Amino acid sequence: MTYDYVIVGAGSAGCVLANRLSEDPNQRVLLLEAGGRDWHPFIHMPAGIAQLVGKKGVNWDYYTEPEPQLGGRRLWWPRGKVLGGSSSINAMCYIRGDARDYDEWAQRIGDPRWAWNAVLPHFLRSEGNTRGASALHGADGLLGVSDLRHHNPLSQVAIDAARAAGIPTTDDFNGPAQEGFGYYQVTQRNGARCSTAAGYLRAARGRPNLTVRTRAVTQRVLISGSQATGVDYRHHGRLKRAEARQVILCGGAINSPQLLMLSGIGPADHLRSHGLRVALDLPGVGANLQDHLDICTLQRCTQPITYDKTNDVAIALEFLLRRQGIGTSNVAEVGGFVRTRHAEDGRCDMQFHFVPAQLDDHGRQRLPGFGYTLHACALRPKSRGHIALRSADPGEKPAIHANYLSDAEGYDLKMLIEGVRLSRGIFAQDAFGPYRGEEILPGVGVREDRDIEAFVRRKAETIYHPVGTCRMGSDAGAVVDAELRVRGIAGLRVVDASVMPCLPGGNTNAPTVMIAEKAADFIRAA
């Protein structure tokens, strides 16, 4: 079968592109997703995120290689393997980052089309914010954005405590200034999760020119000379081929570089070591891996008001019948952005997520009693990792070398130590007094920097923001150009978080949606 566009990956970017490119009835679009349909009720009930942690059917269930600076630990990297991708399993926080992040992108790649003023219209086009339209917000977009319908009492306590600790209160992290503590707006519509599958793909599913195939695992991109001509994919155990005028990879920071390398595009010596024919020596494929490393401070709560023990049946019924209650919570209801004493410019360099529950090891380890957690992550880490193949077998997971805390100057470690100290400072405020029990993590005996350092190396985890492994640019290390075309291969683009030259200051889902909206314009104008 021949198509105009084959899109590989129905995640945060792929669903956007499937919608936008199929708006033209004369263009035939095939969307391939390795996972299944987003039928599971825990996907659509926001608080179901706590139950999705162990659902391997919607998760690639990746692990890093042993991390040298983290005691040789292999960190769990959950990534969405379902329609909507990671937008179907994330915490739904709608954050764009600082405007200066995008000006930095434009400067790094030498193209003003990625500066803030040039990307803002694409944020506005995607955003359907219940607060209405303004200079910085869109109201009519397909990605539903709203205020949370339910708040745990401790969420307001966290805001009050942060204010007492000297951090201002804000009601809009995507407003004129990012700094402050407040409630997150979330990608929800009418109290339910609005993934890109729910927002973009559902609106396009009736179009006869759009074909969506789930459980379809792409094996390789077909390359003829220097032209992409289609893909081979495995669907329900059978090997199939789809030819296309253009192939667009939307697999994310892990799967997109893996697929490029399996197709013979990547570092030549690495490809040859796995017996792969080299179609194009492109050393930057898989390099430049960046992620937000996160450290949690946990405190015991003296009152049974947290989300540690809840009546799941009652929560589900209230959500299903009324779209109200705890079921509408994203669990991480409150957060904040802070400019620490280590900030290297005028931007905030630390982000917090407050969770009114004990969250250890991504919530996979249940702790007794009641408690609350404050996540802290440094927004602009200097460490860089890479993605590599284990073999030429498309069914074998790639090797993830995150390389956390590896920067020579020790900046990343210094920032996480600071994150622990700031988190403790917030928890020490009088607002938490009626609820404050013993400190669980790091623990009362962990006070000196060397002890906090050991705690960070023992307990730090990803907060799920890998980017950069197919970065855009014009230098020899870039994988795609400013219009997201793979350099040296016609008819092939990468559109997902892997193209980001560096991390934005915040959660990465909204920027990925923006990238897809912008890519759609590039593609349609070509």
204: left (phi over 0), alpha (psi -120 to 50) or beta: alpha
All residue ranges of the chain with pLDDT < 70 are none
What six digits make up the tokens of 66? 């042993």
Note the maximum CA span of the chain: 69
CATH 3.50.50.60 fits 1-68+79-143+193-286+467-526, yes or no: yes
Cβ atoms of 504 and 381 closer than 8 Å? no
Positions marked active-site: 465
* Parts of the chain belonging to CATH 3.30.410.40: 149-183+293-380+405-459
- Which CATH fold topology does 149-183+293-380+405-459 show? Cholesterol Oxidase; domain 2 (3.30.410)
Cβ atoms of 196 and 143 closer than 8 Å? yes
What residues pair up with 76 in beta bridges, in sequence order?
A: 63
362 vs 459: CA distance, rounded Å:
11
404 vs 385: CA distance, rounded Å:
7
What is the reported pLDDT for 366?
84
Tokens 């009546």 -> residue: 311
What is the reported pLDDT for 328?
98
Contacts of 298 (CB under 8 A, 6+ apart): 358, 359, 360, 367, 371, 372, 373, 439, 440, 441
Please state whether the predicted TM-score (pTM) of the whole model is above 0.95.
yes
Distance of CA 335 to the CA centre of its chain: 16
* Parts of the chain belonging to CATH 3.50.50.60: 1-68+79-143+193-286+467-526
Query: pLDDT per residue over 354-404, tens digit each?
Result: 999 999 999 888 899 999 999 999 999 999 999 999 999 999 999 999 999
